[in-house]
Structure 1
Amino acid sequence: MNRPRITVSIPPELDLFVSVERRGSAATEVATDGTSSLGHVVESLGIPLTEVGGLSVDGEPVPVSHVPAAGEQVRVRAVERPQQVPGAPLRFLLDVHLGTLARRLRLLGVDAAYESEDIGDPALAALSARERRVLLSRDRGLLRRREIWAGAYVYSDRPEDQLRDVLQRFAPALVPWTRCVACNGRLTEADKESVRGRLEDGTQRTYDVFAACTSCDRVYWRGAHHARLQAVVDAAMREFAPSATDSRPSP
Protein backbone atom coordinates (compact mmCIF):
# COMPACT_ATOMS: atom_id res chain seq x y z
CA MET A 1 0.00 0.00 0.00
CA ASN A 2 1.40 3.37 -1.03
CA ARG A 3 1.68 5.95 1.71
CA PRO A 4 0.28 9.44 0.96
CA ARG A 5 3.07 11.83 0.07
CA ILE A 6 3.12 15.57 0.71
CA THR A 7 5.60 18.34 -0.03
CA VAL A 8 6.82 20.39 2.93
CA SER A 9 8.59 23.75 2.62
CA ILE A 10 10.83 24.52 5.60
CA PRO A 11 12.29 28.01 6.21
CA PRO A 12 16.09 28.30 6.47
CA GLU A 13 15.96 29.26 10.18
CA LEU A 14 14.48 25.83 10.98
CA ASP A 15 16.94 23.86 8.82
CA LEU A 16 19.06 22.94 11.85
CA PHE A 17 16.26 20.70 13.17
CA VAL A 18 15.88 18.46 10.11
CA SER A 19 18.15 15.71 8.87
CA VAL A 20 21.21 16.71 6.86
CA GLU A 21 19.81 15.41 3.59
CA ARG A 22 16.73 17.65 3.90
CA ARG A 23 18.64 20.85 4.70
CA GLY A 24 18.92 23.64 2.16
CA SER A 25 16.05 22.36 0.03
CA ALA A 26 13.24 24.68 -1.00
CA ALA A 27 10.86 21.78 -0.38
CA THR A 28 11.09 18.19 0.80
CA GLU A 29 8.83 15.25 0.05
CA VAL A 30 7.44 13.41 3.06
CA ALA A 31 5.50 10.14 3.24
CA THR A 32 2.64 10.21 5.76
CA ASP A 33 0.42 7.47 7.19
CA GLY A 34 -2.85 9.16 6.25
CA THR A 35 -4.03 9.48 9.87
CA SER A 36 -1.41 11.48 11.77
CA SER A 37 -1.85 15.22 12.22
CA LEU A 38 0.30 17.72 10.39
CA GLY A 39 1.76 18.74 13.75
CA HIS A 40 2.93 15.16 14.27
CA VAL A 41 4.42 15.07 10.77
CA VAL A 42 6.36 18.29 11.38
CA GLU A 43 7.65 16.97 14.70
CA SER A 44 8.68 13.72 13.02
CA LEU A 45 10.96 15.82 10.82
CA GLY A 46 12.67 17.01 14.01
CA ILE A 47 11.05 20.47 14.33
CA PRO A 48 9.57 21.25 17.77
CA LEU A 49 6.15 22.87 17.44
CA THR A 50 7.35 25.59 19.82
CA GLU A 51 9.41 26.87 16.85
CA VAL A 52 6.53 26.84 14.37
CA GLY A 53 4.73 30.14 13.85
CA GLY A 54 2.08 28.75 11.50
CA LEU A 55 1.22 26.09 8.94
CA SER A 56 -0.50 26.43 5.60
CA VAL A 57 -1.71 23.92 3.04
CA ASP A 58 -1.98 24.98 -0.59
CA GLY A 59 -1.76 28.59 0.59
CA GLU A 60 -4.46 28.37 3.27
CA PRO A 61 -3.73 28.42 7.03
CA VAL A 62 -4.44 25.16 8.85
CA PRO A 63 -4.17 24.08 12.51
CA VAL A 64 -1.60 21.56 13.69
CA SER A 65 -4.47 19.06 14.00
CA HIS A 66 -5.00 19.05 10.21
CA VAL A 67 -4.54 15.57 8.68
CA PRO A 68 -2.66 16.00 5.42
CA ALA A 69 -3.85 14.32 2.23
CA ALA A 70 -1.76 13.08 -0.66
CA GLY A 71 -0.35 15.79 -2.88
CA GLU A 72 -0.78 18.69 -0.46
CA GLN A 73 1.77 21.49 -0.48
CA VAL A 74 2.63 22.36 3.12
CA ARG A 75 4.46 25.50 4.20
CA VAL A 76 6.00 25.78 7.68
CA ARG A 77 6.57 29.27 9.07
CA ALA A 78 9.05 30.07 11.82
CA VAL A 79 7.88 31.97 14.90
CA GLU A 80 7.71 35.70 14.32
CA ARG A 81 9.90 37.88 16.51
CA PRO A 82 9.18 39.43 18.91
CA GLN A 83 6.91 36.56 19.87
CA GLN A 84 3.72 37.37 21.73
CA VAL A 85 2.85 35.08 24.66
CA PRO A 86 -0.79 35.80 25.51
CA GLY A 87 -2.66 35.07 28.69
CA ALA A 88 -0.08 35.53 31.46
CA PRO A 89 2.76 37.80 32.58
CA LEU A 90 5.92 36.90 30.67
CA ARG A 91 7.88 34.56 32.92
CA PHE A 92 10.45 31.90 32.13
CA LEU A 93 11.48 28.48 33.38
CA LEU A 94 14.94 27.20 32.41
CA ASP A 95 16.15 23.63 32.49
CA VAL A 96 19.19 22.43 34.41
CA HIS A 97 21.64 23.14 31.56
CA LEU A 98 20.87 26.88 31.32
CA GLY A 99 22.09 28.18 34.67
CA THR A 100 24.27 30.98 33.25
CA LEU A 101 21.41 32.20 31.06
CA ALA A 102 19.08 32.18 34.06
CA ARG A 103 21.47 34.31 36.10
CA ARG A 104 21.90 36.81 33.27
CA LEU A 105 18.16 37.14 32.76
CA ARG A 106 17.74 37.76 36.49
CA LEU A 107 20.54 40.32 36.36
CA LEU A 108 18.36 42.21 33.87
CA GLY A 109 15.29 41.94 36.09
CA VAL A 110 13.58 39.20 34.05
CA ASP A 111 11.56 36.61 36.01
CA ALA A 112 13.53 33.43 35.33
CA ALA A 113 12.91 30.35 37.45
CA TYR A 114 15.66 27.75 37.24
CA GLU A 115 16.06 24.22 38.53
CA SER A 116 19.70 23.70 39.54
CA GLU A 117 19.09 19.95 39.83
CA ASP A 118 17.68 17.68 37.15
CA ILE A 119 14.09 17.14 38.33
CA GLY A 120 13.14 15.30 35.15
CA ASP A 121 11.19 16.29 32.07
CA PRO A 122 7.71 15.47 33.43
CA ALA A 123 8.24 17.66 36.52
CA LEU A 124 9.62 20.55 34.44
CA ALA A 125 6.70 20.37 32.02
CA ALA A 126 4.22 20.27 34.91
CA LEU A 127 5.90 23.29 36.55
CA SER A 128 5.68 25.21 33.28
CA ALA A 129 1.96 24.49 33.10
CA ARG A 130 1.26 25.16 36.79
CA GLU A 131 3.06 28.52 36.90
CA ARG A 132 2.37 29.44 33.26
CA ARG A 133 6.03 29.93 32.43
CA VAL A 134 7.72 29.75 29.04
CA LEU A 135 10.03 26.73 29.22
CA LEU A 136 13.47 27.44 27.72
CA SER A 137 15.55 24.44 26.72
CA ARG A 138 17.94 22.97 24.18
CA ASP A 139 16.25 19.59 24.62
CA ARG A 140 13.88 19.02 21.71
CA GLY A 141 12.28 16.05 23.42
CA LEU A 142 11.37 18.17 26.44
CA LEU A 143 9.82 20.83 24.21
CA ARG A 144 7.63 18.18 22.55
CA ARG A 145 5.83 17.39 25.80
CA ARG A 146 2.18 18.33 25.37
CA GLU A 147 1.68 19.48 28.97
CA ILE A 148 4.07 22.44 28.82
CA TRP A 149 2.30 25.81 28.84
CA ALA A 150 4.66 27.41 26.30
CA GLY A 151 8.22 26.74 25.26
CA ALA A 152 11.14 27.90 23.17
CA TYR A 153 14.28 26.28 21.89
CA VAL A 154 17.52 28.03 22.86
CA TYR A 155 19.53 28.06 19.65
CA SER A 156 23.08 28.58 20.91
CA ASP A 157 25.30 26.92 23.48
CA ARG A 158 27.10 30.22 24.23
CA PRO A 159 25.56 32.24 27.10
CA GLU A 160 26.10 35.58 25.33
CA ASP A 161 24.22 34.40 22.25
CA GLN A 162 21.57 32.65 24.34
CA LEU A 163 20.77 35.90 26.12
CA ARG A 164 20.50 37.87 22.88
CA ASP A 165 18.31 35.14 21.39
CA VAL A 166 15.82 35.20 24.28
CA LEU A 167 15.73 39.01 24.50
CA GLN A 168 15.23 39.33 20.76
CA ARG A 169 12.55 36.64 20.62
CA PHE A 170 10.41 37.73 23.57
CA ALA A 171 11.35 41.38 24.18
CA PRO A 172 10.83 41.18 27.97
CA ALA A 173 10.86 44.37 30.02
CA LEU A 174 14.36 44.96 31.38
CA VAL A 175 14.77 46.35 34.89
CA PRO A 176 18.39 45.61 35.86
CA TRP A 177 19.50 45.01 39.45
CA THR A 178 15.98 44.23 40.71
CA ARG A 179 16.20 40.43 41.05
CA CYS A 180 18.40 38.12 43.06
CA VAL A 181 20.65 36.19 40.70
CA ALA A 182 20.74 33.32 43.20
CA CYS A 183 17.03 32.69 43.78
CA ASN A 184 15.05 35.01 41.43
CA GLY A 185 13.56 36.90 44.38
CA ARG A 186 13.00 40.65 44.40
CA LEU A 187 15.74 42.99 45.58
CA THR A 188 15.08 45.96 47.82
CA GLU A 189 17.37 48.75 48.98
CA ALA A 190 18.91 48.03 52.37
CA ASP A 191 20.64 50.41 54.77
CA LYS A 192 24.06 49.41 56.01
CA GLU A 193 22.98 48.97 59.60
CA SER A 194 20.28 46.43 58.69
CA VAL A 195 22.72 44.14 56.88
CA ARG A 196 25.83 44.74 58.98
CA GLY A 197 25.66 41.32 60.63
CA ARG A 198 25.89 39.61 57.23
CA LEU A 199 28.96 41.50 56.01
CA GLU A 200 32.68 40.80 56.31
CA ASP A 201 34.68 43.53 58.07
CA GLY A 202 36.33 44.65 54.84
CA THR A 203 32.98 45.02 53.10
CA GLN A 204 31.61 47.04 56.01
CA ARG A 205 34.50 49.46 55.78
CA THR A 206 34.54 49.79 51.99
CA TYR A 207 30.90 49.92 50.85
CA ASP A 208 27.86 51.95 51.87
CA VAL A 209 25.17 51.10 49.28
CA PHE A 210 23.44 47.74 49.58
CA ALA A 211 20.47 45.73 48.36
CA ALA A 212 18.94 42.63 49.92
CA CYS A 213 16.82 39.81 48.52
CA THR A 214 13.32 39.72 49.97
CA SER A 215 13.23 35.93 49.52
CA CYS A 216 16.62 34.53 50.55
CA ASP A 217 18.16 37.52 52.41
CA ARG A 218 21.27 37.53 50.23
CA VAL A 219 23.02 40.92 50.37
CA TYR A 220 24.40 42.70 47.31
CA TRP A 221 26.84 45.57 46.84
CA ARG A 222 29.06 46.92 44.08
CA GLY A 223 32.00 44.62 44.58
CA ALA A 224 35.04 43.83 42.48
CA HIS A 225 32.90 41.92 39.95
CA HIS A 226 30.58 44.89 39.34
CA ALA A 227 32.36 46.03 36.15
CA ARG A 228 31.92 42.64 34.51
CA LEU A 229 28.22 42.48 35.35
CA GLN A 230 27.71 46.10 34.36
CA ALA A 231 29.17 45.29 30.94
CA VAL A 232 26.55 42.55 30.47
CA VAL A 233 23.78 44.93 31.52
CA ASP A 234 25.05 47.80 29.37
CA ALA A 235 25.26 45.64 26.24
CA ALA A 236 21.73 44.32 26.71
CA MET A 237 20.28 47.74 27.49
CA ARG A 238 21.95 49.36 24.47
CA GLU A 239 20.48 46.79 22.10
CA PHE A 240 17.12 45.99 23.64
CA ALA A 241 16.19 48.98 25.83
CA PRO A 242 18.28 51.91 24.54
CA SER A 243 16.19 54.61 26.25
CA ALA A 244 16.36 53.02 29.71
CA THR A 245 18.86 53.98 32.40
CA ASP A 246 19.49 52.58 35.84
CA SER A 247 21.93 53.13 38.67
CA ARG A 248 20.84 50.62 41.29
CA PRO A 249 23.42 48.57 43.22
CA SER A 250 24.45 45.42 41.40
CA PRO A 251 24.83 41.84 42.60
Structure 2
Amino acid sequence: MNGPEIALEVAPELRLFVAHERRQGRTGVITDGSSTLGHVVESLGIPLTEAGQLLVDGRSVPVSHIPGPGELVEVRAVQRPQQVPGAPLRFLLDVHLGTLARRLRLLGVDAAYESKDIGDPALAALSAKEQRVLLSRDRGLLRRREIWAGAYIYSDRPEEQLRDVLGRFAPVLAPWTRCTACNGQLAQADKDSVSARLEHGTQETYDVFAQCADCGRVYWRGAHHARLEAVVADAVREFGELRNEAPTA
Protein backbone atom coordinates (compact mmCIF):
# COMPACT_ATOMS: atom_id res chain seq x y z
CA MET A 1 0.00 0.00 0.00
CA ASN A 2 1.22 3.49 -0.83
CA GLY A 3 -1.43 6.02 0.05
CA PRO A 4 -2.90 7.90 3.03
CA GLU A 5 -1.60 7.03 6.46
CA ILE A 6 -4.09 6.38 9.25
CA ALA A 7 -3.62 5.81 12.95
CA LEU A 8 -4.95 2.48 14.19
CA GLU A 9 -5.89 1.19 17.62
CA VAL A 10 -6.92 -2.44 18.04
CA ALA A 11 -8.89 -3.72 21.03
CA PRO A 12 -6.78 -5.85 23.39
CA GLU A 13 -8.93 -8.91 22.65
CA LEU A 14 -8.01 -8.70 18.96
CA ARG A 15 -4.29 -8.07 19.22
CA LEU A 16 -3.42 -11.75 18.88
CA PHE A 17 -4.44 -11.46 15.21
CA VAL A 18 -2.05 -8.64 14.27
CA ALA A 19 1.72 -8.48 13.91
CA HIS A 20 3.64 -8.07 17.15
CA GLU A 21 4.73 -4.51 16.36
CA ARG A 22 1.08 -3.40 16.11
CA ARG A 23 -0.04 -4.87 19.43
CA GLN A 24 0.96 -2.00 21.68
CA GLY A 25 -1.28 1.07 21.55
CA ARG A 26 -1.64 3.25 18.46
CA THR A 27 0.22 2.46 15.27
CA GLY A 28 0.47 3.99 11.81
CA VAL A 29 -0.90 2.12 8.78
CA ILE A 30 -0.36 3.10 5.14
CA THR A 31 -3.46 2.46 3.03
CA ASP A 32 -3.89 2.52 -0.76
CA GLY A 33 -6.54 5.26 -0.73
CA SER A 34 -9.24 3.10 -2.33
CA SER A 35 -9.68 -0.03 -0.19
CA THR A 36 -12.49 -0.18 2.35
CA LEU A 37 -11.84 -0.14 6.07
CA GLY A 38 -13.05 -3.73 6.18
CA HIS A 39 -10.33 -4.71 3.71
CA VAL A 40 -7.72 -2.83 5.74
CA VAL A 41 -8.78 -4.59 8.94
CA GLU A 42 -8.63 -8.00 7.27
CA SER A 43 -5.24 -7.22 5.71
CA LEU A 44 -3.90 -6.78 9.24
CA GLY A 45 -5.01 -10.35 10.06
CA ILE A 46 -8.28 -9.63 11.90
CA PRO A 47 -11.28 -11.65 10.63
CA LEU A 48 -14.29 -9.37 10.25
CA THR A 49 -16.30 -11.90 12.26
CA GLU A 50 -14.24 -10.73 15.27
CA ALA A 51 -14.38 -6.99 14.61
CA GLY A 52 -17.16 -5.21 16.40
CA GLN A 53 -17.76 -1.47 16.16
CA LEU A 54 -15.40 0.49 13.89
CA LEU A 55 -14.79 4.06 14.96
CA VAL A 56 -13.19 6.79 12.86
CA ASP A 57 -12.28 9.88 14.89
CA GLY A 58 -14.85 8.75 17.46
CA ARG A 59 -17.78 8.13 15.12
CA SER A 60 -19.10 4.74 14.12
CA VAL A 61 -18.59 3.82 10.44
CA PRO A 62 -19.46 0.78 8.29
CA VAL A 63 -16.85 -1.62 6.92
CA SER A 64 -17.38 0.05 3.52
CA HIS A 65 -15.81 3.31 4.76
CA ILE A 66 -12.76 4.43 2.75
CA PRO A 67 -10.08 5.62 5.22
CA GLY A 68 -8.74 9.11 4.68
CA PRO A 69 -5.37 10.61 5.63
CA GLY A 70 -4.85 11.26 9.31
CA GLU A 71 -7.94 9.43 10.50
CA LEU A 72 -7.85 7.65 13.83
CA VAL A 73 -9.41 4.21 13.44
CA GLU A 74 -10.44 2.14 16.47
CA VAL A 75 -11.27 -1.53 15.96
CA ARG A 76 -13.34 -2.82 18.85
CA ALA A 77 -14.16 -6.42 19.71
CA VAL A 78 -17.59 -7.93 19.15
CA GLN A 79 -20.02 -6.96 21.89
CA ARG A 80 -21.16 -9.86 24.04
CA PRO A 81 -23.66 -11.41 24.04
CA GLN A 82 -23.63 -11.14 20.26
CA GLN A 83 -26.95 -10.85 18.49
CA VAL A 84 -27.35 -12.97 15.35
CA PRO A 85 -30.32 -11.63 13.36
CA GLY A 86 -32.66 -13.34 10.97
CA ALA A 87 -32.79 -17.00 11.98
CA PRO A 88 -32.94 -19.32 15.00
CA LEU A 89 -29.48 -19.56 16.51
CA ARG A 90 -27.74 -22.59 15.00
CA PHE A 91 -24.10 -23.51 14.60
CA LEU A 92 -21.87 -25.28 12.09
CA LEU A 93 -18.49 -26.52 13.31
CA ASP A 94 -15.50 -27.49 11.20
CA VAL A 95 -13.73 -30.84 11.31
CA HIS A 96 -11.39 -29.81 14.15
CA LEU A 97 -14.12 -29.02 16.69
CA GLY A 98 -15.78 -32.38 17.26
CA THR A 99 -15.58 -32.30 21.06
CA LEU A 100 -17.09 -28.82 21.17
CA ALA A 101 -19.91 -29.97 18.87
CA ARG A 102 -20.76 -32.89 21.15
CA ARG A 103 -20.78 -30.68 24.24
CA LEU A 104 -23.05 -28.12 22.60
CA ARG A 105 -25.42 -30.93 21.61
CA LEU A 106 -25.29 -32.27 25.16
CA LEU A 107 -26.68 -28.89 26.21
CA GLY A 108 -29.43 -29.03 23.57
CA VAL A 109 -27.79 -26.49 21.24
CA ASP A 110 -28.26 -27.09 17.50
CA ALA A 111 -24.69 -27.80 16.38
CA ALA A 112 -24.07 -29.37 12.98
CA TYR A 113 -20.61 -30.86 12.59
CA GLU A 114 -18.68 -32.18 9.62
CA SER A 115 -16.55 -35.12 10.78
CA LYS A 116 -14.82 -35.21 7.40
CA ASP A 117 -12.91 -32.35 5.85
CA ILE A 118 -15.31 -31.26 3.09
CA GLY A 119 -13.26 -28.15 2.26
CA ASP A 120 -13.66 -24.47 3.00
CA PRO A 121 -15.94 -23.63 0.03
CA ALA A 122 -18.42 -26.37 0.97
CA LEU A 123 -18.45 -25.35 4.65
CA ALA A 124 -19.02 -21.70 3.77
CA ALA A 125 -21.81 -22.65 1.35
CA LEU A 126 -23.48 -24.82 4.01
CA SER A 127 -23.30 -21.96 6.51
CA ALA A 128 -25.11 -19.72 4.03
CA LYS A 129 -27.65 -22.34 2.94
CA GLU A 130 -28.72 -23.30 6.46
CA GLN A 131 -28.06 -19.90 8.06
CA ARG A 132 -25.70 -21.33 10.65
CA VAL A 133 -22.95 -19.52 12.54
CA LEU A 134 -19.71 -21.10 11.37
CA LEU A 135 -17.32 -21.83 14.25
CA SER A 136 -13.66 -22.37 13.39
CA ARG A 137 -10.07 -21.77 14.38
CA ASP A 138 -9.22 -21.28 10.69
CA ARG A 139 -8.92 -17.54 10.06
CA GLY A 140 -8.85 -18.03 6.31
CA LEU A 141 -12.16 -19.90 6.40
CA LEU A 142 -13.78 -17.10 8.39
CA ARG A 143 -12.71 -14.57 5.74
CA ARG A 144 -14.80 -16.24 3.02
CA ARG A 145 -17.47 -13.81 1.87
CA GLU A 146 -20.18 -16.44 1.39
CA ILE A 147 -20.47 -17.52 5.03
CA TRP A 148 -23.69 -16.41 6.69
CA ALA A 149 -22.07 -15.61 10.03
CA GLY A 150 -18.99 -16.84 11.82
CA ALA A 151 -16.89 -16.80 14.94
CA TYR A 152 -13.28 -17.59 15.72
CA ILE A 153 -12.71 -20.15 18.48
CA TYR A 154 -9.87 -18.68 20.52
CA SER A 155 -8.83 -21.65 22.64
CA ASP A 156 -7.75 -25.19 21.78
CA ARG A 157 -9.19 -26.53 25.06
CA PRO A 158 -12.77 -27.86 24.81
CA GLU A 159 -13.76 -26.51 28.25
CA GLU A 160 -12.70 -22.99 27.32
CA GLN A 161 -14.18 -23.31 23.83
CA LEU A 162 -17.58 -24.16 25.30
CA ARG A 163 -17.50 -21.24 27.73
CA ASP A 164 -16.47 -18.91 24.90
CA VAL A 165 -19.37 -19.92 22.65
CA LEU A 166 -21.96 -19.86 25.45
CA GLY A 167 -20.74 -16.49 26.68
CA ARG A 168 -20.57 -14.96 23.23
CA PHE A 169 -23.90 -16.12 21.80
CA ALA A 170 -25.99 -16.97 24.89
CA PRO A 171 -27.92 -19.83 23.24
CA VAL A 172 -30.97 -21.25 24.98
CA LEU A 173 -29.91 -24.40 26.82
CA ALA A 174 -32.06 -27.55 26.83
CA PRO A 175 -29.77 -30.29 28.19
CA TRP A 176 -30.30 -33.95 27.32
CA THR A 177 -32.57 -33.22 24.36
CA ARG A 178 -30.16 -33.77 21.42
CA CYS A 179 -28.24 -36.73 20.11
CA THR A 180 -24.54 -36.09 20.68
CA ALA A 181 -23.75 -38.31 17.68
CA CYS A 182 -25.90 -36.74 14.96
CA ASN A 183 -27.59 -33.63 16.43
CA GLY A 184 -31.08 -35.15 16.14
CA GLN A 185 -33.84 -34.75 18.72
CA LEU A 186 -34.15 -37.23 21.59
CA ALA A 187 -37.43 -38.69 22.82
CA GLN A 188 -38.26 -40.98 25.73
CA ALA A 189 -38.21 -44.63 24.64
CA ASP A 190 -39.92 -47.70 26.03
CA LYS A 191 -37.44 -50.36 27.15
CA ASP A 192 -39.11 -53.06 25.08
CA SER A 193 -38.91 -50.96 21.92
CA VAL A 194 -35.12 -50.53 22.17
CA SER A 195 -34.13 -53.85 23.76
CA ALA A 196 -32.78 -55.23 20.47
CA ARG A 197 -30.18 -52.43 20.47
CA LEU A 198 -28.99 -53.13 24.03
CA GLU A 199 -26.43 -55.52 25.42
CA HIS A 200 -27.71 -57.98 28.02
CA GLY A 201 -25.99 -56.19 30.90
CA THR A 202 -27.56 -52.88 29.97
CA GLN A 203 -31.01 -54.49 29.75
CA GLU A 204 -30.59 -55.92 33.23
CA THR A 205 -29.24 -52.73 34.81
CA TYR A 206 -31.22 -49.81 33.33
CA ASP A 207 -34.90 -49.08 32.81
CA VAL A 208 -35.04 -45.49 31.53
CA PHE A 209 -34.03 -44.77 27.94
CA ALA A 210 -34.17 -42.13 25.23
CA GLN A 211 -33.74 -42.60 21.50
CA CYS A 212 -32.68 -40.31 18.67
CA ALA A 213 -35.47 -39.74 16.16
CA ASP A 214 -32.94 -39.40 13.33
CA CYS A 215 -30.21 -42.04 13.77
CA GLY A 216 -31.93 -44.37 16.25
CA ARG A 217 -29.13 -44.27 18.82
CA VAL A 218 -30.28 -45.23 22.33
CA TYR A 219 -29.25 -43.33 25.48
CA TRP A 220 -29.34 -44.23 29.16
CA ARG A 221 -27.65 -43.12 32.37
CA GLY A 222 -24.46 -45.08 31.86
CA ALA A 223 -21.23 -45.24 33.80
CA HIS A 224 -19.95 -41.91 32.44
CA HIS A 225 -23.19 -40.03 33.13
CA ALA A 226 -21.71 -38.31 36.19
CA ARG A 227 -18.98 -36.72 34.07
CA LEU A 228 -21.49 -35.45 31.53
CA GLU A 229 -23.79 -34.26 34.28
CA ALA A 230 -20.94 -32.15 35.67
CA VAL A 231 -20.45 -30.51 32.25
CA VAL A 232 -24.17 -29.73 32.07
CA ALA A 233 -24.36 -28.45 35.66
CA ASP A 234 -21.42 -26.08 35.18
CA ALA A 235 -22.87 -24.67 31.94
CA VAL A 236 -26.37 -24.27 33.33
CA ARG A 237 -25.09 -22.60 36.50
CA GLU A 238 -23.09 -20.00 34.55
CA PHE A 239 -25.00 -19.55 31.31
CA GLY A 240 -28.52 -20.86 31.44
CA GLU A 241 -31.41 -22.50 33.11
CA LEU A 242 -32.20 -26.20 33.15
CA ARG A 243 -35.27 -26.67 30.95
CA ASN A 244 -35.53 -30.39 30.32
CA GLU A 245 -33.93 -33.65 31.27
CA ALA A 246 -33.63 -37.06 29.65
CA PRO A 247 -31.27 -39.99 30.12
CA THR A 248 -27.93 -40.18 28.41
CA ALA A 249 -25.60 -43.03 27.67
CA distance in 2, matches of 1:156, 1:182: 23
Aligned equivalent of 1:218:
217
> Where does residue 35 of structure 1 map in the other structure?
34
Superposition deviation, residue 5 in structure 1: 0.5
Q: Name the amino acid aligned to 1:220.
A: Y
What pairs up with 1:4-15 in 2 under 5 angstroms?
Answer: 4-15=4-15
How far off is 1:247 after superposition?
3.8
Query: Runs of at least 4 residues of structure 1 off by over 6 A?
Result: none
- Could you tell me how far apart the structure 1 residues matched to 2:28 and 2:73 are? 10
Q: Find the counterpart in structure 1 of residue 97 from structure 2.
A: 98
AA at the equivalent of 2:134: L
**Structure 1, gaps ≥5 residues long:** none
Give the structure 2 partner of residue 185 of structure 1.
184
- 1:168 CA displacement: 0.2
Partner in structure 2 of residue 244 of structure 1: 242
State the secondary structure of the residue aligned to 1:30. Answer: strand
List gaps (5 residues or longer) in structure 2. none
- Looking at structure 1, the residues matched to 5 and 179 of structure 2 have their Cα atoms a distance apart, in angstroms, of 53
Question: Deviation per CA, 1:81-102, whole angstroms, max 9, x where unpaired?
Answer: 0000010000000000000000
**2:155 is the counterpart of 1:156:** yes
Determine the C-alpha separation between the residues in 1 that align with 2:135 and 2:242: 26
Deviations 1:191-248 (A, max 9, x none): 101101111111111000000000000000001110111111111111112x436442
| CA-based RMSD | 1.1
**Deviation at residue 111 of structure 1 after TM alignment:** 0.1
Residue 146 (structure 1) aligns with: 145
Percent of aligned positions with the same letter in both sequences? 75
Q: Is the CA contact 2:175–2:243 (under 8 Å) kept in the aligned structure 1?
A: no
Q: Secondary structure at the match of 2:164?
A: helix
Q: By how many angstroms is 1:28 displaced? A: 1.3
Give the alignment's TM-score, normalised by structure 1. 0.97
Aligned-partner residue type, residue 161 of structure 1: E
For 2:177, the aligned partner's letter is T
Query: What CA distance in whole angstroms lies between the structure 1 residues aligned with 2:64 and 2:86?
Result: 22
**Is the CA contact 2:106–2:232 (under 8 Å) kept in the aligned structure 1?**
yes
Using the TM superposition, give the Cα deviation of residue 4 of structure 1 relative to its aligned residue in structure 2, in angstroms.
1.1
Partner secondary structure for residue 155 of structure 2: coil
In 1, Cα distance between equivalents of 2:236 and 2:221: 19
Contact 2:33–2:66 (Cα < 8 Å) also in 1: yes
SS of 1:64's equivalent? coil
Q: Which amino acid aligns with 1:9?
A: E
Q: CA, structure 1 residues 60+163, in 2 after alignment: closer, same or farther (shift >3 Å)?
A: same
**Taking structure 2 as the reference length, what is the TM-score of the superposition?**
0.98
Post-superposition offset of 1:60? 1.4
Q: How does 1:105-120 map to 2 (within 5 A)?
A: 105-120=104-119
Residues 2, 31 of structure 2: 8 Å contact kept: no
Q: Which amino acid aligns with 2:149?
A: A
- 1:135 match: 134
Is contact 2:175-2:242 (8 Å) kept?
no
Amino acid at match of 1:134: V
Query: How many aligned residue pairs are there?
Result: 249
